[in-house]
Amino acid sequence: MTGIRGGGGVADTNLPSALDQTDLRLLHALQVDPRASWNELAPVVGVDAATLARRWARLDAEGLAWVTGYDSSGQLALLEIECELARLEQVAAEMGRDRQVLVLDFSSGGRDLLALVMGRDLAEISAYAVGRLGAIEGVRAVRTHIANEILTDGSSWRLRTLKPAEVARIRPPKPPRPRAARRVDDGLRAALEDELWRDGRASIADIAQRTGYAPQRVSDAIATLRSTGDLVFRTDIARAASGWPIYTWYFVEAPARIIEAARAAIATVPEVRLAFTASSRYNLILAVWLRRIADVNRFEMALEQALQGSRIADRAVVLRIAKHMNRIVGPDTRAIGSANSEPAHLKPDG
């Protein structure tokens, strides 16, 4: 699966003028630890902390990058949605306001929309796919693919502009203090999820002020949830500014033994943004970023070569991203606003 790589990384491509090499180094560092302090990242990126803060403020304000914190302990599913053409935009707008929808794409092929949805369990996924989606006028059909195991996801994707030795200088998040509570109570956890969903780099002081919890308790809770893997942070970049502007989904039918053998290889392919095994007709589903449309066929050939005995049963090119994490995305792939809404578990129909 290495045959389609077009060079060593984004630094080798013609980058949009909005991003320079320092921006790319900063963004790669934030992909490694999205909540690292500017003082920690300054010696790695090679500029002072104040400059990093100013650059991040610009990237965030211009919708070129954003950080999200989210609960990863639930059940993930991919929904294929068919809509009445005249109501497609309205359906997407209503879905985009829903906290359970992490990613929403306008798609080519046998579906109009592709949505990555997170629920607490299978019952909540079912309630969303059958209940809430069924109540939206214009939705004609929904096909649900339940994720069994996530092999890799966007939180692991990297720009590859920092050298391995530079990446190694970024220290991992601090573990919880010995005196920190081992369990985070439900009220504090819900408050943190709301705050960090809106802004994954929100400061401890700001979160404490808005929620009424003591700063030390907020800090301890974040450290505890990160250490257990229940709270995940990721830095996302506007696709057109990433150097990988083509976005495709692949639906694969593969023998289980083939997927098991290729597990490690799939996770290391830079084009793959998301890969998970599924309980549906397709048992492997991938979201892939490519450098050019001509790479679609080359990637398919490389994928089938790596997964001998498998078959790409369907594919879809993303025509436009409507939502990515807690950001509404414009036609140029920049974030144009937050998709703030009350948590799904507080909604009467959730």
Q: Are 105 and 155 spatial neighbours (Cβ–Cβ below 8 Å)?
A: no
Q: What is the pLDDT of residue 198?
A: 93
Q: What is the pLDDT of residue 22?
A: 96
166 φ/ψ angles, rounded to the nearest 5 degrees: -70, -40
Neighbour tally for 165: CB within 10 Å: 8
Alpha helical stretches, state H, 144-270: 164-167, 186-198, 204-211, 215-228, 256-268
Q: What is the pLDDT of residue 286?
A: 96
Report the alpha-carbon angle 93-73-114, nearest 5.
30
Q: What is the pLDDT of residue 340?
A: 63
Helix (H, G, I), strand (E, B) or coil at 31: helix
Q: What is the pLDDT of residue 15?
A: 38
Tens-digit pLDDT profile for the chain (350 aa)?
A: 443 333 333 333 333 457 999 999 999 999 999 999 999 999 999 999 999 999 999 999 999 999 999 998 899 999 999 999 999 999 999 999 998 999 999 999 999 999 999 999 999 999 999 999 989 999 999 999 999 999 999 898 999 999 999 999 999 999 999 998 899 999 999 999 999 999 999 999 999 999 999 999 999 999 999 999 999 999 999 998 988 889 999 999 998 888 888 888 888 888 999 999 998 889 999 999 998 888 988 898 888 888 888 899 999 999 999 999 989 999 999 999 888 644 333 332 33
Look up tokens 């060593």; give the residue.
8
Position 256, amino acid = A
Query: Considering the entire predicted model, what is its pTM?
Result: 0.87
Q: Which two tokens stand for residue 324?
A: 């990515």
Distance, CA of 109 to CA of 317 (rounded, Å): 8
Q: What is the pLDDT of residue 342?
A: 42
Check residue 332 and report its DSSP letter. T
Q: What is the pLDDT of residue 17?
A: 54
